[in-house]
Structure 1
């Protein structure tokens, strides 16, 4: 008999298992996939660590979280500096002086600020009701039309006028020549990929892959005193209050017989007539010098139950449904719900780890 059955071997499940194991608890971690690590899993192709489920760049301002992950694996000094291809031209992201020069030819912060403010005054609205109005009120028409509208509509599968304004409560604008996408103090990629982090967390803990919790739920529940569930919360309750909405992704990965395809780890493809949102060239995450390269095209798509749920659609309707599930979940003493899908939140990696550590603190507060 185990103390904890952990359903899902992503970051939340792996961190909880590690911390419980440290406290002398017996854990079994199961995953329905044929590998551990959830969406941070990396696959070695031609000596290149390929982020199988999309780009994962670790970044945080929380020094304790940074020190926590560095216990298990060394991180390199990769800095995320994506580029966007729109209307045949390349633009630096996030919006900074390089972007403004590429858009308007302005060379000073004062010129850029004046241009931006003029467009905001011309196209912004006092009380934005949708994403389009919100974006126009934050950055004006040029940036919205070229760098936001078509990309966002591809990403969400809806017109910008149909999307809620809160999706972009703010847009980072920098009046300096700075292509570092994140403002966080700590940033990097685990040297050798994320599998080292997961393997470190799960060292000495029993694991089982190709194990679908819902295929024999009673059997799995009887293996442990408590369950830590990291899957979709609506699926756990058999969609009792309705099905939550997610967005899914499809990946096309290709090994190319050339050393360098695009010169950057991430290039966004903004135009609506290109079906994918970005191309990832994985070797650049670790400054690779291999003779070949691996690229992945990322296609957003509507979610259906047979597809992977990558991020929640956190509009008012779905939040109302989620609250009903959350209320019911809070009444079940023998099950802990946590992680991106169980909490129905768009988490970055450091936020998942923080949530797991908070759960651990609550669970073992008297130990």
Structure 2
């Protein structure tokens, strides 16, 4: 790339492909350092999967629940500099054949399961079931989970949900997917241990809009359909899309799990009394129901709920969760080698790096990359 002292030969310093969180943060930091940025996205909105649609005054998370949480105060301060976050605490409920349990596994869960009231009783119950299972060397996810939390928790709260999520039997899934399970011997329903947690007041779009201030944004623009023309506009490409697509699937497609969402506007004030209810039995085809108004303590007369259905990823579907097994990791390694040899191209984000990121990790990754790039 040209030095700052050289005359610019193109109207933009950076062409940022993808208006998701990684691309938005990169754009903000680039503009902050005096760079000209063009952001393009094939979708008709900014924010990637954090995008919210306002329905009857309710900010609907169109691509599934997004709950911000972090222990990193600089990142928490960073996002709050664009939009104030509320005090929402994620406390999901699990529904197993009409029985309700608190998540993560804690004393409330254990009381509902076994009527135990003390941590000592709960520990003893779990230890007894683990001992009876007699699994010394877990060979798959089922054995790993039972060896950690026993049979009751596994069969009611893990097995059905996990098999729906991955589309495979738990006995066919590798044990490393569940290396550990959060078990609390306190009456605490807060799902996350992070110090900072909340939802942007007014929705995530305010965060994306703040990050993109000063950038030119072109939506409904397919980078691959207009690649030559777009690349002619900028000195450097910042690519946040699927890395295999960038290289025209040279080594084959990387695999993902995908999701399908069914949104419903209901003419009632309160459908389930909680933002997130997981359905852990195998017979229910969806994994959870989201009631969006509870993210912002809404009092609207109507409500919007979303049924979340896991599904296999196919071309054209949205890729959500990378399947980081041996085959896919080897294919990604080949693409990564190609990426490292590209000139004037920066790869970043969950799709370009083929890894699952929480939101604070996406932001941290983009901030780290720009800090090195702009030496600040």
- TM-score band, normalised by shorter chain: over 0.9
Q: Does 1:207 align with 2:225?
A: no
8 Å CA contact retained: 1:124, 1:140:
no
Task: Give me the whole-angstrom Cα distance separating, in 2, the residues matched to 1:39 and 1:61.
Answer: 22
**Contact 1:4/1:226, CA 8 A, preserved across alignment:** yes
Q: Matched residue of 1:43: which SS? A: strand
1:106-136 alpha-carbon deviations (Å, 9 max, x no partner): 0100000000111112225222221111101
Check if 1:159 corresponds to 2:169.
Answer: yes
- Does the CA contact (< 8 Å) of 1:124 and 1:138 recur in 2? no
- Counterpart residue number, 1:145: 155
After the TM superposition, list the runs of 4 or more consecutive aligned residues in structure 1 that deviate by more than 3 angstroms. Answer: none
Of 226-235 and 123-132, deviating more is 123-132
Correspondence for 1:5 = 15
Instruction: Tell me how far 1:86 sits from its aligned partner.
Output: 0.4
Residue 80 (structure 1) aligned to one of 90, 93, 101? 90
Structure 2 residues without counterparts, runs of 5 or longer = 1-10
Distance 2:122 2:46 in 1: 47
Q: Deviations over 1:144-184 (max 9, x none)?
A: 00000010000010111111111111100000000000000
Within 5 A, what are the aligned runs for 1:277-316? Answer: 277-316=287-326
How many residue pairs get aligned? The number is 366
Q: Which moved more, 1:87-96 or 1:119-128?
A: 119-128
Among 17, 20, 26, the residue aligned to 1:16: 26
Q: Counterparts of 2:67 and 2:268 in 1: how far apart (Å)?
A: 24
Q: CA shift at 1:239, angstroms?
A: 1.1
Partner residue, 2:349: 339
Counterpart of 1:132? 142
Superposition pairs of residues 101-116 of structure 1, within 5 angstroms: 101-116=111-126
- TM-score normalised by L of structure 2: 0.96
Deviation at 1:38, TM superposition (A): 0.2
Find the residue that maps to 1:213 and give its secondary structure: coil
Q: Could you tell me how far apart the structure 2 residues matched to 1:228 and 1:36 are? A: 16
2-structure distance, mates of 1:225, 1:126: 57
Aligned to 1:176: 186
Among 253, 256, 264, the alignment partner of 2:263 is 253
**What residue in structure 1 maps to residue 43 of structure 2?**
33
1:124 and 1:136 in contact (8 A); partners too = no
CA distance in 2, matches of 1:134, 1:207: 47
Matches of 2:338 and 2:36, distance apart in 1: 27
Show the counterpart of 2:81.
71
- Determine the C-alpha separation between the residues in 1 that align with 2:132 and 2:40: 55
Kindly report the root-mean-square deviation, in angstroms, between the aligned alpha carbons of the 2 structures.
0.9
Instruction: Give 3-state SS (helix, strand or coil) of 2:224's partner.
Output: helix
